[in-house]
DNA sequence: AGCTTCACG
DNA sequence: ACGTACGTGAAGCTG
């Protein structure tokens, strides 16, 4: 059944005005009523998805009710100016939304709703009346429902026939009789004095309509009520007449005129922007997954000849693509010279894919894409060598603002081209995606085509922005070349010793079973050790151990807490041990067993656009957090082996890169001196902080100094240092004071970072990578201090990230004709699979490229080790 | 989906 | 009087 939605515009607007605080835009225009109206409108349209819609308004002219009864609505105050000035705005929006407004002089909005809904009932439509006025409840029927909006604007009460009967015990048409007896204060309808809702309902239930009640007035038992009615027959009849909504206005309505149409999005957006309706703006733009009349269907290319014809004479091609079930499903190409085309690869033979890979490898044509590494991987695995990959819009957007949660083409279209394109969410994220085979090809064609066009058209604008921010070199010479480096690394993969893996699995499983038993014995019952909740119950309730720390949801049981509790009960140490092994097994052993079922090699994905500082991250699996800090964890590195026995694993890591970067950035003479002297930096720091000669530094002092150095890099606080070293805060504060006394320019530099962030709103790295720090102006002290630590840490961490990226690009270029391969990056460390014959040469290339990636005020040192697995490369 | 915990630099 | 070290990703539990 088709649905008609009728909105009592006057009533909803009024409600909204009084329900919401007096919002205005920055120009001082009052917007609350319009805002509330729109919230309501979008909600009901979303919830009920009507086929027809119209909004009715009262017109100023007096209605028959005024003529009949002078006092009608006489007590109502004049509409405030703050509200009346919003009416033209609302009309404007409704017109942009292509929603019909109905108004008829001499009738109220109610009457229009009544008349139109009656005609709708005759035509077999399901009608929804949206209003804030309970009077309209009289219109409820089997076909017509009333949606009453309440205070909150978006919470509503829906009345259908049955709900109404349940609530009032009378029929909707008897609701008018109820009004006739009770009257209505707000409309100044008198009703029968002395009769309220309760009495009125009883009378109607017993006798029916007002007429019947009057006829039977003598039979009313209660004297007070009987006399009230008998003395006010006229008033009752008048009140009923005034309350009766007209359902047969002498006007024909053509329902077809109310068909829901595509809104004029541009206009709606312009108005919402003017009114500063930010959340509503998103709604308008988000909801356009529906095919748009204006959208173009692009030319389809389905054979290699046409493909080659398309790419001939083209200088630069923008490529969009979609992957499905781990295969390349489709792509669109867009170029200035030849326009935009769609390649439905999923239904074409493989020659089309190869033609595409060949294009990717064509040195004479520049390629642009969005997260293009994903596409390169397909070509590389088929043996192609992509070349001239010159622009990635995701990376450009990331450099422009590194703290966005995601970088999608749709957003770039909006930000740089002010264009709305189709939503690609049908492809979903990760595993929850719909099968595109269920989607019309025309839709896919439009979607991919728009994306390719946007990549191509936004490129010059994004490049301009990068130039303006002085990040053109970072983009062109570091990040873009790095795309190919990472793609190669991902495709090469890390070889895994499955037997060793399975051996570790049974070893860990065995240990886990035995520890589990011991824990159950000590606890006196079995429980899920992995559940912090159940564990809390055992530790803090059953065993009565003291609560050290609380979390949002309960008691904390983290390692820090457990270490403190360990002396009090034997179970605690066992739990720590269980935790450690269980973590190692589930994350690494079980995870890698799954990943090596098909092939011995594991291929991580590097993400170049997630971290706020410029580091890269690694997922599925994360190979940047393979255990090393504990002996037992470190065993896991034994499963990471060279590609064959002619190769070794080589690890090259920067020694103290962050502190060296700090020495450079701060120009601190003492710190620079330490590095030039080539001393152990933590020992030297200890000697400075504790004021003892280098040879009098104890291991304990060195340990403390190391923590101080970490603290400096993280944006130090005495609290953090105190917690890390488990010393009183005052002592930690003293360490920090004495550190800064010895390294005064470090102090100056860190202050400078904070000052810069406050003044400019951002901080930068040596390669001009930028991070905005909005936290630094927060009124909340914690957030603000967090901002200060970000301002201190980001230039250090980010510059180190810049440096290793440069080294990666340079090394990759140098070793491209070797058999040895770069396979992993772990922030300050590069891992290679090195052919033994090439070992000496590779060692020197890697060392030189890492140490000379940039020229700092201190030397950069790379430490190189190798072995028959990652564990032995130490 | 959010929280807790813990693996890494 | 408050409550903090910086940057990540994955697993398991819970609502």
Q: Which residue approaches C13 most closely, CA to C1'?
A: A531
Whole-number pLDDT of residue A716: 83
Kindly indicate the confidence band of residue A272, based on its pLDDT and cuts at 50, 70 and 90: confident
Q: Which residue approaches C5 most closely, CA to C1'?
A: A720
Is A389 in a helix, a strand, or coil?
Answer: strand
What is the CATH T-level fold of the domain A661-796, as seen in this structure?
A: DNA polymerase; domain 1 (1.10.150)
Whole-number pLDDT of residue A553: 85
- Region(s) of chain A under CATH 3.40.50.1010: 3-161+245-258
CB-strand contact A737/B, under 7 Å: no
- Region(s) of chain A under CATH 3.30.420.10: 299-487
Output the distance from A787 CA to B4 C1' rounded to whole Å. Answer: 24
CB-strand contact A388/B, under 7 Å: no
Nucleotide showing the shortest C1' distance to residue A556 CA: B4
Instruction: Give per-residue pLDDT as tens, A196-221.
Output: 777 777 777 788 887 777 788 788 88
The beta-strand segments (E) located in A413-488 are: none
Nucleotide showing the shortest C1' distance to residue A551 CA: B4
- Which tops the pLDDT comparison, A823 or A75? A823
Output the distance from A433 CA to B1 C1' rounded to whole Å. Answer: 17
Residues A521 and A452: their CA atoms lie apart, in Å, by 63
Output the distance from A790 CA to C8 C1' rounded to whole Å. Answer: 15
The rounded radius of gyration (Å) of the Cα atoms in chain A is 37
Nucleotide showing the shortest C1' distance to residue A625 CA: B8
- Which tops the pLDDT comparison, A861 or A274? A861
Output the distance from A264 CA to C7 C1' rounded to whole Å. Answer: 45
CB-strand contact A82/B, under 7 Å: no
Q: Among residues A722, A738, A730, which one has the least CA distance to residue A670?
A: A738
Nucleotide showing the shortest C1' distance to residue A736 CA: C5
Output the distance from A579 CA to C12 C1' rounded to whole Å. Answer: 12
Instruction: Give per-residue pLDDT as tens, A817-831.
Output: 999 999 999 999 999
Q: In a 10 Å sphere around its CB, with 0-12 CB exposed, 13-18 middle and 19+ buried, how is residue A61 labelled?
A: exposed
Residues A495 and A639: their CA atoms lie apart, in Å, by 8
Whole-number pLDDT of residue A428: 66
Residues A739 and A63: their CA atoms lie apart, in Å, by 84
Do A820 and A811 form a contact (C-beta atoms < 8 A)? Answer: no
Measured CA to CA in angstroms, residue A630 lies from A498, A621, A633, A636, A688 at distances of 22, 20, 5, 10, 30
With 70 as the cut, is the pLDDT of residue A433 above it?
no
CB-strand contact A617/B, under 7 Å: no
Q: What percent of chain A has pLDDT over 90?
A: 60
Is A822 in a helix, a strand, or coil?
Answer: strand
Nucleotide showing the shortest C1' distance to residue A604 CA: C9
What is the CATH T-level fold of the domain A3-161+245-258, as seen in this structure?
A: Rossmann fold (3.40.50)
Instruction: Provide the token pair at A711.
Output: 């603290």
With 80 as the cut, is the pLDDT of residue A803 above it?
yes
Give strand C nucleotides closer than 7 A to any protein Cβ.
Answer: 1-15
Residues A324 and A765: their CA atoms lie apart, in Å, by 38
Output the distance from A622 CA to C15 C1' rounded to whole Å. Answer: 28
Residues A606 and A617: their CA atoms lie apart, in Å, by 6
- Mean pLDDT over residues A598-627, rounded? 94
- Which tops the pLDDT comparison, A240 or A599? A599
Output the distance from A592 CA to C9 C1' rounded to whole Å. Answer: 15
Measured CA to CA in angstroms, residue A855 lies from A279, A355, A664 at distances of 48, 43, 10
Residues A425 and A412: their CA atoms lie apart, in Å, by 16
- Mean pLDDT over residues A100-112, rounded? 87
Q: What percent of chain A has pLDDT over 70?
A: 96
CB-strand contact A625/B, under 7 Å: yes
A299-487 homologous superfamily: Ribonuclease H-like superfamily/Ribonuclease H (3.30.420.10)
Give strand B nucleotides closer than 7 A to any protein Cβ.
Answer: 3-9
Whole-number pLDDT of residue A154: 63
Measured CA to CA in angstroms, residue A782 lies from A205, A516, A776 at distances of 64, 41, 10
Instruction: Give per-residue pLDDT as tens, A493-551.
Output: 999 999 999 999 999 999 999 999 999 999 999 999 999 889 999 999 999 999 898 88
Whole-number pLDDT of residue A291: 43
Nucleotide showing the shortest C1' distance to residue A535 CA: C13
Is A742 in a helix, a strand, or coil?
Answer: helix
Output the distance from A404 CA to C11 C1' rounded to whole Å. Answer: 25
Torsion sign, CA atoms A62, A64, A69, A73:
negative
- Region(s) of chain A under CATH 1.20.1060.10: 494-602
With 70 as the cut, is the pLDDT of residue A232 above it?
yes
Whole-number pLDDT of residue A293: 46
Kindly indicate the confidence band of residue A282, based on its pLDDT and cuts at 50, 70 and 90: low
CA A140 to chain centre: 42
Residues A647 and A820: their CA atoms lie apart, in Å, by 8
Instruction: Give per-residue pLDDT as tens, A557-567.
Output: 999 899 989 99
Output the distance from A612 CA to C7 C1' rounded to whole Å. Answer: 8
Output the distance from A534 CA to C12 C1' rounded to whole Å. Answer: 13
Whole-number pLDDT of residue A816: 96
Is A53 in a helix, a strand, or coil?
Answer: strand
Instruction: Give per-residue pLDDT as tens, A736-795.
Output: 999 999 999 999 999 999 999 999 999 999 999 999 999 999 888 888 999 999 999 999
CB-strand contact A429/B, under 7 Å: no
Instruction: Give per-residue pLDDT as tens, A466-504.
Output: 999 999 999 999 999 999 999 999 999 999 999 999 999
CB-strand contact A599/B, under 7 Å: no
CB-strand contact A585/B, under 7 Å: no
Whole-number pLDDT of residue A785: 92
Task: Scan residues 797-816 of chain A and list those with Cβ within 7 Å of strand B.
Answer: 797
Say if strands A640-641 and A829-835 run parallel, antiparallel, or are unpaired: unpaired
CB-strand contact A577/B, under 7 Å: no
A494-602 CATH choice from 2.30.40.10, 1.20.1060.10, 3.40.980.10, 3.30.70.20: 1.20.1060.10
Whole-number pLDDT of residue A165: 84
- Mean pLDDT over residues A294-310, rounded? 94
- Region(s) of chain A under CATH 1.10.150.20: 661-796
- Mean pLDDT over residues A27-33, rounded? 78
Q: Among residues A268, A290, A322, which one has the least CA distance to residue A423?
A: A290
Q: Which residue approaches B8 most closely, CA to C1'?
A: A625
Q: Among residues A288, A267, A276, which one has the least CA distance to residue A34?
A: A276
Q: Is the peptide bond before A621 cis (omega within 30 degrees of 0)?
A: yes
The order of strands in the sheet holding A144-149 is: A100-102, A52-56, A3-8, A126-131, A144-149, A156-159
Q: Among residues A834, A794, A830, which one has the least CA distance to residue A810?
A: A830
HEC-encoded secondary structure of A300-359: ECCCHHHHHHHHCCCCEEEEEEEEECCEEEEEEEEECCCEEEEECHHHCCCHHHHHHHHH
Output the distance from A587 CA to C11 C1' rounded to whole Å. Answer: 6
Say if strands A3-8 and A52-56 run parallel, antiparallel, or are unpaired: parallel
Nucleotide showing the shortest C1' distance to residue A627 CA: B7
- Mean pLDDT over residues A180-189, rounded? 74
CB-strand contact A29/B, under 7 Å: no
Q: What is the pTM of this model?
A: 0.71
Whole-number pLDDT of residue A432: 45
Instruction: Provide the token pair at A486.
Output: 């990472």
With 80 as the cut, is the pLDDT of residue A460 above it?
yes
Is A781 in a helix, a strand, or coil?
Answer: helix
Residues A485 and A813: their CA atoms lie apart, in Å, by 9
> For the ranges A48-57, A233-242, A570-579, A584-593, which has the lowest average pLDDT?
A233-242
Residues A787 and A149: their CA atoms lie apart, in Å, by 43
Q: How far apart are the first and last CA of chain A?
A: 73
Output the distance from A606 CA to B7 C1' rounded to whole Å. Answer: 17
Do A194 and A235 form a contact (C-beta atoms < 8 A)? Answer: no
């Amino acid at each position: 059944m088709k649905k008609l939605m009728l909105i009592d515009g006057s009533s909803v607007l009024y409600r909204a005005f009084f329900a919401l605080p007096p919002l205005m835009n920055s120009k001082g225009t009052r917007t609350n009523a319009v805002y509330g109206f729109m919230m309501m409108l979008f909600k009901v349209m979303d919830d009920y998805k009507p086929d027809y819609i119209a909004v009715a308004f009262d017109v100023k002219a007096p209605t028959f009710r005024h003529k009949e009864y002078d006092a009608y609505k006489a007590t109502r105050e004049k509409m405030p100016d703050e509200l009346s000035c919003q009416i033209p705005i609302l009309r404007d929006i409704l017109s942009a939304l292509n929603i019909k407004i109905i108004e008829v002089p001499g009738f109220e909005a109610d009457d229009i709703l009544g008349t139109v809904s009656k005609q709708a009932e005759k035509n077999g439509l399901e009608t929804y009346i949206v209003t804030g006025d309970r009077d309209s409840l009289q219109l409820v029927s089997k076909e017509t429902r009333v949606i009453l909006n309440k205070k909150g604007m978006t919470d509503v009460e829906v009345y259908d026939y049955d709900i109404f009967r349940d609530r009032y015990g009378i029929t909707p048409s008897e609701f008018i009789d109820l009004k006739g007896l009770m009257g209505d204060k707000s409309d100044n309808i008198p009703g029968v004095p002395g009769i309220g809702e309760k009495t009125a309902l009883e009378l109607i239930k017993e006798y029916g309509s007002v007429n019947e009640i009057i006829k039977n007035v003598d039979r009313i038992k209660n004297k007070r009520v009987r006399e009230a009615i008998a003395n006010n027959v006229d008033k009752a009849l008048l009140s009923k007449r005034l309350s009766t909504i007209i359902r047969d206005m002498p006007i024909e309505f053509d329902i077809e005129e109310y068909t829901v149409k595509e809104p004029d999005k541009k206009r709606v957006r312009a108005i919402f922007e003017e009114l500063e309706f930010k959340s509503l703006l998103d709604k308008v733009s988000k909801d356009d997954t529906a095919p748009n009349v204006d959208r173009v269907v692009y030319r389809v290319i389905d054979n290699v000849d046409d493909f080659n014809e398309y790419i001939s004479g083209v200088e630069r091609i923008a490529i969009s693509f979609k992957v499905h079930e781990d295969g390349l499903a489709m792509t669109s190409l867009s170029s200035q010279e030849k326009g935009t085309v769609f390649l439905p690869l999923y239904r074409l033979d493989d020659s089309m894919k190869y033609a595409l890979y060949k294009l990717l490898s064509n040195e004479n044509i520049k390629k642009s894409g969005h997260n293009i590494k994903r596409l390169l991987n397909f070509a590389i695995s088929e043996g192609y060598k992509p070349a001239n990959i010159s622009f990635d819009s995701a990376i450009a957007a990331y450099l422009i603002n590194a703290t966005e949660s995601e970088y999608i083409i749709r957003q770039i279209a909006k930000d740089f081209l002010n264009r709305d394109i189709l939503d690609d969410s049908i492809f979903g994220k990760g595993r929850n995606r719909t099968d595109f085979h269920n989607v019309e090809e025309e839709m896919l064609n439009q979607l991919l085509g728009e994306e390719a066009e946007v990549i191509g058209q936004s490129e010059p604008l994004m490049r301009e922005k990068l130039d303006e921010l002085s990040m053109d070199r970072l983009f062109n010479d570091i990040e873009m070349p790095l795309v190919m480096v990472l793609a190669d690394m991902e495709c090469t993969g890390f070889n895994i010793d499955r037997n060793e893996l399975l051996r570790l699995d049974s070893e860990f499983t065995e240990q886990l079973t035995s520890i589990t038993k011991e824990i159950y014995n000590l606890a006196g019952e079995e429980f899920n050790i992995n559940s912090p909740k159940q564990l809390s119950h055992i530790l803090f309730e059953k065993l009565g151990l003291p609560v050290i720390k609380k979390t949002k949801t309960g008691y904390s049981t983290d390692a820090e807490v457990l270490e403190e509790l360990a002396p009090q009960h034997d179970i605690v140490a066992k739990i720590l041990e269980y935790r450690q092994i269980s973590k190692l097994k589930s994350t690494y052993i079980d995870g890698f067993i799954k990943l090596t079922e098909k092939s011995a090699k594991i291929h991580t994905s590097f993400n170049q656009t997630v971290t706020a500082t410029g580091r890269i991250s690694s997922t599925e699996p994360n190979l940047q957090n393979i255990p090393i800090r504990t002996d037992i964890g470190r065993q896991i590195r034994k499963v990471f082996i060279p590609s064959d026995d002619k190769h070794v694993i080589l690890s090259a890591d920067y020694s103290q890169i962050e502190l060296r970067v700090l020495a450079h950035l701060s120009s601190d003479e003492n710190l620079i001196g330490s590095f030039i002297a080539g001393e152990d930096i933590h020992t030297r720091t200890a000697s400075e902080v504790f004021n003892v000669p280098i040879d009098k530094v104890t291991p304990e002092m060195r340990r403390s100094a190391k923590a101080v150095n970490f603290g400096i890099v993280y944006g130090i606080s005495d609290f953090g240092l105190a917690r890390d070293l488990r010393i009183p805060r005052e002592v930690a504060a003293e360490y920090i004071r004495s550190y800064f006394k010895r390294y005064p320019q470090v102090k100056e530099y860190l202050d400078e970072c904070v000052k810069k962030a406050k003044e400019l709103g951002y901080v930068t790295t040596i390669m001009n990578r930028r991070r905005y720090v909005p936290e630094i102006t927060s009124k909340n002290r914690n957030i603000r201090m967090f901002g200060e630590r970000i301002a201190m840490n980001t230039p250090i961490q980010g510059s180190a990230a810049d440096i290793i990226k440069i080294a990666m690009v340079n090394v990759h270029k140098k070793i491209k004709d070797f058999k040895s391969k770069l396979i992993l990056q772990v922030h300050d460390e590069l891992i290679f699979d090195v052919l033994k014959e090439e070992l000496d040469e590779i060692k020197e290339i890697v060392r030189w490229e890492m140490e000379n990636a940039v020229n700092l005020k201190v030397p950069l040192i790379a430490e190189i080790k190798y072995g028959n697995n990652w564990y032995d490369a130490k």
